[in-house]
Structure 1
Amino acid sequence: MKGCDALVTVLLLMAAIVIILSVIVSRLASRLKVPMLLGFIFLGLFVGNDASLGPVFSDFALTESICTAALVIVMFDGGFQTRWKAAKKAALPAGILATAGVLTTAALTGLFCHYALGMPWLTALLTGSLISSTDAASVFSILRNQKLALRDHTDSLLELESGSNDPVSYLLVTVILTMMQTTVTWLDILWILLCQIGIGLLAGWLISRFALWFLSKVQLEFSGFLTVFVLACALMAYAGSTLLAGNGYLAVYLAGLILGNSRLRHKKELVPFFDGLSTLMQMTIFFILGLLADPDSILAVLPLSFGIFLFLTLVARPAAVFLCLSGFRSSLAKKLVVSAAGLRGAASIVFAIMARMTVPGLGQDVFHIVFGVVLFSISLQGTLLPWIARRLHMSDESGNVLKTFSDYGAEPDLQFSLLELGSESGWAGKTLAELALPPGMATALVIRDGERIIPEGGTLLQKQDRLVITTQPYHSARNLLDSEVLDGDDPRIGKSLAEIASRPIVCISRHERMLIPDGTTLLQEGDTLVFVQKNAL
C-alpha cells in the first residue's frame, strides 16, 4: 500500500473508532443522566493530551474552519426541525430573549469581568459577548434525551431561544473585535449591525424562496437528490451572507426555519437525515474542541471560569430572563426554569477561537476561560435542569417535548391506502354507513370521475369509485415482509395466483408499480412477489 493510501486508511480508521467511542460515551451519559455532550469533550481531552496516542493537537485555524462548518449544519437543523405551528405561541418572548436577553447578559457579564476580575473594558465585554447566548445543541440534547416536556410552552420557548440567539452573540463578538482592531464610531457600529442583520435576513429568505421555487418547478425523482439540494442551500445561505458581510448564522437558521415549515416531498426522509448529520456535527465540535484544549491551561484559569459561571448563572441570566419576560404572563417557576436552562456550549467556544485568531494579542486566555465556563455550565446546569424543573413542578409528564420539532410530524400518524371499486364490487350501490369496515379504518375521501368528494355516512358509492382509506400504520411491517423475484425459468410465469400453491401474496412490484393481486392476477417475468414471512412476529 502506498504511503498516501496508508495515511488515508489510518485516518479513516481513527475517525471510525472515535465516532464509535462517541456513540458509546453518549449511551453511558444517558444512563448516568448527564449531558452526553460532556462526554464528547472529555473524550477529546483524553485523546488530544495522551502522548501515547500521537502528537498534541493545537491547530486553532483548522479547528475554527471545521467547527464553523459543523455549526452551520447544527443551526440549520435547529431551524429546520422547529415546528412553527407548535412553537409560535412562544415566538415573541423567545425572540426578546434571543435579542434583548443576549444583550443584557453580555453587558452584565462584561461589567462583572471588568470590575470584579480586573479585565480591560473591551476584553471584558468580549468575554461577556462570547458566553451571552445559550447553546441549542445542549438544550435540545437534554430536553430530548430526558424526555423533558415543560408546562406553559416553556420547552418551546427554550428551543426557539437557544436555536436563534447564537447569531446575536456572533454579532456582538464581531462588533467588539472590530473595535479592538481599529477605531470605530457609532455610525460604523450601526452600519455593521445593519449589514449583519439585514443581509443575513435577506440571504436566508432569498435562498429558502429560491429552494421552494426550484422544487415546485423540478420534481426530483429520488429523496437523495432532495437531501443534497437542501444541504447545498443551507451552505449557500451561510456562505452567501458571509461573503456580503452579513450574519451567516442568522441566514442559515432562517433558511432552515422556512424550509422546515414548508411542504416538501420526501420530508420524512429529510428530517432523520439532518437529525443524524447534526448529531454527528455536534459530536465533531465537542470532540475537536476537547482535542484542542490544554488541561493545564484550563486549570490555570479555572477560578476565573468558575467565578464568571457563578455570576452568569445566578445573576446575569436570571436578570435577563426576568427583565425580558416581565411583559408576559409568566409564573415565577417558569422564569426560574428558563433562567436555569441558560446552558452555554459549542458556539461560545467556537466564537472564542475566532476571537483568538482575529486578535492574537489578547491579554487574557479567553479561549480556555470560555472553555471552563462551558464545562461548568454543561456539567452542573445540564445535570440539574431536569431536577430543577421537577422540583418547581414545571415538568409535564403527559406532554411530548417532540411536539416542537418537525419530526414529531406536522401530519397525523396515519396510513393512507387507495381502493378502487371494480365493476363486480359488492360495495357499489351501498352507502358508507352500510359498509362493514373493521375498527380503526375510515374512508377519508371518495374520488369519482376526477372529482373529490368529502364522504358522509349517507354517501352512495358507485362503480369505478376510488376510495382513500385511512388506518393506523404498523411501523414494524418491514420486519414481516419478504420478497422474491420471478426470473425467466420460473414455472409460475403466466399462471394466475389461483393456479399456484403459494404463500399469500400481499402485493406485486411490476415495472416500478405496486399491484394488489387477487386470484386472477397473472404472474409475469420480472415480478417481485411480496409476502409475509412464515415465522414473522
Structure 2
Amino acid sequence: MENANVLIVFVSAILLFCIAFSRLITKAGIPVLVFFIFAGMIMGSEGAGGIYFDNASAASSIGNFALCYIIFAGGMATSWKSAREVLLPGALLSTAGVMITAILVGVAAHFLLGLTLMQGLLLGSVVSCTDAASVFSILRSNNMNLKAPLAPLLELESSSNDPAAYMLTITIISLMKSDGGGFFGYALMFVMQLAVGAGLGFAFGFAGALLINRIRLNSDGLYPVVAATIASFVFAAVQLMRGNGLLGVYIAAMVMGNVKLVHKTSLVRFFDGFSWLMQILVFVTLGLLVFPSQLRAVWLPALVMSAALMFLIRPAAVFITLSGFKYPLKAKLFVSWVGLRGASSIVFATYALTEGIQNADTIFNMVFFISLTSVIIQGSMLTPVASMLGQLDKEDKTLVSRSFTDYEEDIQGTLYELRVVRGSKAVGMAVSDMKFPESVRIMLIKRGESTIAPTGKTLIKEGDTLMVTTGKTEALLALKERLALV
C-alpha cells in the first residue's frame, strides 16, 4: 500500500509540474501536451519512475476511449455558423487531403526507407491526420488573429480528419492480413463505414439533444454525465453496426452543439476540460509505451520522413485539395505548415502492434518520432511563419479562440452599455478578475474605433465601453456600483 502511495505522489508531482510550466511552454509555441509524453517517458521503465508498460492492446483501448471524448468535445465546439463558410474545402482536406497524404507518404517510405509498399501505406495512413489538440492549443494560447477564413478552416480540418485516417489505417491493416485480393470489397467497406457513421451520427445527435432537453434531472451536475454517456453509446453502437464510430461521435456532437440545448454552455465547457483530461491520459500512456532506447534505431529515417511530410507531402496535399478554391498562395502555404501530427497518429500506430503486423515496432517508433518533431518544429514556428506570410490580421481584433468555438447560449436578456470612466476600479483589470455575476455576460468591448471580443486575459482601459447582456437588472446595478462604472 505504501509503495502505491509513493507511486501516486510521484506521478501526481510530475503531472502538476507539467501543468505549472504550461504557460512557459505554450509561449514558445509548443503544445503543453508534448510535455506529458515526456512525463510518460520519465515515468517509464527506462526513466526515473521505473514503471514497466509494454501492453499495446491496453494502450490502444485507452487511446480509443480517449479519442472518443476528444472528438466529441471537438464536435460540440464546432459552430455550424462558422464552419459552413469553409465546409467544402474543410471536408476535402479531411478526406481527399488525408488520402493524398497517405499515398504520398507510402510511396516515399517505400523508395526512401525500403519498406514494402503496404507497410509504407500503413505508415502514411497513420500519419495522414492532423492533431486537433495541438492545433487548438497553439492557435488559442498565442491568441493568433488569423485572416479569415483560416482559423475555422484549420480547426474544422483538424477536428474532423481523424475518422478518415482511422478508416484508412484499419483498411490497410485488413489488406495486409488477408491472403490477397478483395481490394474492391475493402473499398466498399470504406464507403459503407462512412455512410453508416454519418447517418447514425445525425440520428443519434438529434435523439441525444431531444433526450437532454426533455429529461428533468434533480441536479444540473448530472447533465454532463448524460452527455458523456451518450458519447460512449454512440461510439459503441455505430461500431457494432459496422460504421465508423469516430465519425459518428463527431457528427452526433456537432448536431447536439448546434441545436437548442439546455445547459449548452456548461456542457461545452465540461467537455473542453474533460477532453484535456483525456488528452493527458493518452499522451502519458503513449509516453509509457515508448522505449527511448529503441528510438535510436529509427531517428534518422523518421527525421527524413518528417522533413518530407512537412516540406513536400503536406504542401502537395493542400495545394491539390484546395486547387479549386480561390485561396491566396500565402494562405495555402500557411495551411500547409499547420499540419501538426500528434496523439491520434500515435494511437493509430498501436493498431499495427496489436494486430502483429510485420515491422510494427519500427512503424510505431517512427510515428512517435515524426509526431514529436512535427509538433515541436512546426508548433514553435507557427507564429513566425504566419507573420512572415502575412496571415495575421492586425486590424481584426476578434481572437481565434472566439472565431470558431463561440458557443454561448442564445442571449436571453437585454443588452447594456457600461462605460469605464476615470477613477473606475475596472481600469487595468483583466476581464477574469472583474468577477462578473453569473447572470451578467460581457459580449464585446468598444475601444475607440475598434471592437474587441474579450477573453479572460483582456485588460480593461479607461474610455472602454463594455457591452453586456443580462436579464437581472439588480445584478447589473451591483456590478456598476462595485466597479464604479457608468
TM interval, short-chain normalised: 0.7 to 0.9
Provide, for residues 283-330 of structure 1, a one-character-per-residue CA deviation record: whole Å limited to 9, x for no partner: 122122112111111121001111111111111110111111111110
Offset of residue 201 of structure 1: 1.2
1:119 lines up with 2:118 in the alignment: no
- Distance (whole Å) between structure 1 residues aligned to residue 212 and residue 436 of structure 2: 31
- Distance (whole Å) between structure 1 residues aligned to residue 266 and residue 473 of structure 2: 24
- Distance (whole Å) between structure 1 residues aligned to residue 432 and residue 53 of structure 2: 50
Alpha carbons 1:105, 1:132 under 8 Å: kept: yes
Relative to structure 1, the CA distance from residue 320 to residue 439 in structure 2 (aligned partners, 3 Å threshold; closer, same or farther) is closer
Partner residue of 1:157 out of 153, 157, 161: 153
Offset of residue 18 of structure 1: 4.1
1:310-389 correspondence to structure 2 within 5 Å = 310-362=307-359, 365-389=362-386
Alpha carbons 2:46, 2:292 under 8 Å: kept: no
Provide, for residues 115-140 of structure 1, a one-character-per-residue CA deviation record: whole Å limited to 9, x for no partner: 12111111011011110111111101
Provide, for residues 233-289 of structure 1, a one-character-per-residue CA deviation record: whole Å limited to 9, x for no partner: 111111111122211111111111111111111112112111111111111221221
Question: Which residue number corresponds to residue 52 of structure 2?
Answer: 56
Partner residue of 1:270 out of 267, 280, 285: 267
Question: Which residue number corresponds to residue 75 of structure 1?
Answer: 71
Between stretches 21-30 and 274-283, larger displacement belongs to: 21-30
Q: SS at the partner of 1:365?
A: helix
Partner residue of 1:297 out of 286, 291, 294: 294
Identity %: 35
Letter in 2 for 1:173: T
Question: Which residue number corresponds to residue 90 of structure 1?
Answer: 86
Offset of residue 222 of structure 1: 3.2
Provide, for residues 361-401 of structure 1, a one-character-per-residue CA deviation record: whole Å limited to 9, x for no partner: 33661100100100110010111111100111101232311
Provide, for residues 87-116 of structure 1, a one-character-per-residue CA deviation record: whole Å limited to 9, x for no partner: 211111000111111111111111101112
Letter in 2 for 1:128: G
1:171 lines up with 2:167 in the alignment: yes
- Distance (whole Å) between structure 1 residues aligned to residue 357 and residue 232 of structure 2: 28
- Distance (whole Å) between structure 1 residues aligned to residue 433 and residue 81 of structure 2: 27
Question: Which residue number corresponds to residue 99 of structure 2?
Answer: 103
1:364-513 correspondence to structure 2 within 5 Å = 365-397=362-394, 398-409=397-408, 411=410, 416=414, 440=418, 476-477=435-436
Partner residue of 2:43 out of 34, 40, 47: 47
Letter in 2 for 1:284: L
Question: Which residue number corresponds to residue 65 of structure 1?
Answer: 61
Offset of residue 402 of structure 1: 2.0
Q: SS at the partner of 1:148?
A: coil
Relative to structure 1, the CA distance from residue 103 to residue 295 in structure 2 (aligned partners, 3 Å threshold; closer, same or farther) is same
- Distance (whole Å) between structure 1 residues aligned to residue 324 and residue 144 of structure 2: 26
1:186-201 correspondence to structure 2 within 5 Å = 186-201=183-198
Relative to structure 1, the CA distance from residue 150 to residue 64 in structure 2 (aligned partners, 3 Å threshold; closer, same or farther) is same
Provide, for residues 432-482 of structure 1, a one-character-per-residue CA deviation record: whole Å limited to 9, x for no partner: xxxxxx9659xxxxxxxxxxxxxxxxxxxxxxxxxxxxxx99961459xxx
- Distance (whole Å) between structure 1 residues aligned to residue 332 and residue 432 of structure 2: 40
Relative to structure 1, the CA distance from residue 208 to residue 12 in structure 2 (aligned partners, 3 Å threshold; closer, same or farther) is farther
- Distance (whole Å) between structure 1 residues aligned to residue 84 and residue 51 of structure 2: 49
- Distance (whole Å) between structure 1 residues aligned to residue 155 and residue 409 of structure 2: 17
Relative to structure 1, the CA distance from residue 166 to residue 51 in structure 2 (aligned partners, 3 Å threshold; closer, same or farther) is closer
Letter in 2 for 1:308: M
Offset of residue 142 of structure 1: 0.6
- Distance (whole Å) between structure 1 residues aligned to residue 7 and residue 140 of structure 2: 32
Relative to structure 1, the CA distance from residue 52 to residue 296 in structure 2 (aligned partners, 3 Å threshold; closer, same or farther) is closer
Offset of residue 405 of structure 1: 3.6
Q: SS at the partner of 2:221?
A: helix
- Distance (whole Å) between structure 2 residues aligned to residue 306 and residue 374 of structure 1: 10
Relative to structure 1, the CA distance from residue 154 to residue 439 in structure 2 (aligned partners, 3 Å threshold; closer, same or farther) is closer
Alpha carbons 1:309, 1:373 under 8 Å: kept: yes
- Distance (whole Å) between structure 2 residues aligned to residue 134 and residue 92 of structure 1: 18
1:28 lines up with 2:24 in the alignment: yes
Letter in 2 for 1:126: L
Alpha carbons 2:144, 2:392 under 8 Å: kept: yes
- Distance (whole Å) between structure 2 residues aligned to residue 211 and residue 36 of structure 1: 33
Offset of residue 59 of structure 1: 1.9
- Distance (whole Å) between structure 1 residues aligned to residue 390 and residue 91 of structure 2: 25
Letter in 1 for 2:398: G
Question: Which residue number corresponds to residue 233 of structure 1?
Answer: 230
Alpha carbons 2:265, 2:409 under 8 Å: kept: no
Offset of residue 227 of structure 1: 0.8
Query: Gapped runs of 5+ residues in structure 1?
Result: 418-437, 442-471, 480-513, 518-530
Offset of residue 184 of structure 1: 3.8
TM-score when normalising by structure 2: 0.83
Question: Which residue number corresponds to residue 203 of structure 1?
Answer: 200
Alpha carbons 1:114, 1:124 under 8 Å: kept: yes
1:256 lines up with 2:253 in the alignment: yes
- Distance (whole Å) between structure 2 residues aligned to residue 139 and residue 359 of structure 1: 32
Offset of residue 217 of structure 1: 2.9
Alpha carbons 1:82, 1:404 under 8 Å: kept: no
- Distance (whole Å) between structure 2 residues aligned to residue 404 and residue 199 of structure 1: 31
Provide, for residues 407-436 of structure 1, a one-character-per-residue CA deviation record: whole Å limited to 9, x for no partner: 453645x8659xxxxxxxxxxxxxxxxxxx
Q: Greater share of helix residues, 1 or 2?
A: 2
Letter in 1 for 2:311: L
Moved runs in structure 1, 4+ residues, more than 6 A? Answer: 514-517, 534-537
Relative to structure 1, the CA distance from residue 391 to residue 49 in structure 2 (aligned partners, 3 Å threshold; closer, same or farther) is farther
- Distance (whole Å) between structure 2 residues aligned to residue 312 and residue 516 of structure 1: 58
Letter in 1 for 2:234: A
Relative to structure 1, the CA distance from residue 404 to residue 152 in structure 2 (aligned partners, 3 Å threshold; closer, same or farther) is closer
Q: SS at the partner of 2:176?
A: helix
Relative to structure 1, the CA distance from residue 352 to residue 218 in structure 2 (aligned partners, 3 Å threshold; closer, same or farther) is same
Offset of residue 61 of structure 1: 1.6
- Distance (whole Å) between structure 1 residues aligned to residue 32 and residue 432 of structure 2: 32
1:4-19 correspondence to structure 2 within 5 Å = 12-14=8-10, 16-19=12-15
Q: Which has the higher contact order (CA 8 A, sep 6+)?
A: 2
Alpha carbons 1:86, 1:403 under 8 Å: kept: no
- Distance (whole Å) between structure 1 residues aligned to residue 53 and residue 212 of structure 2: 43
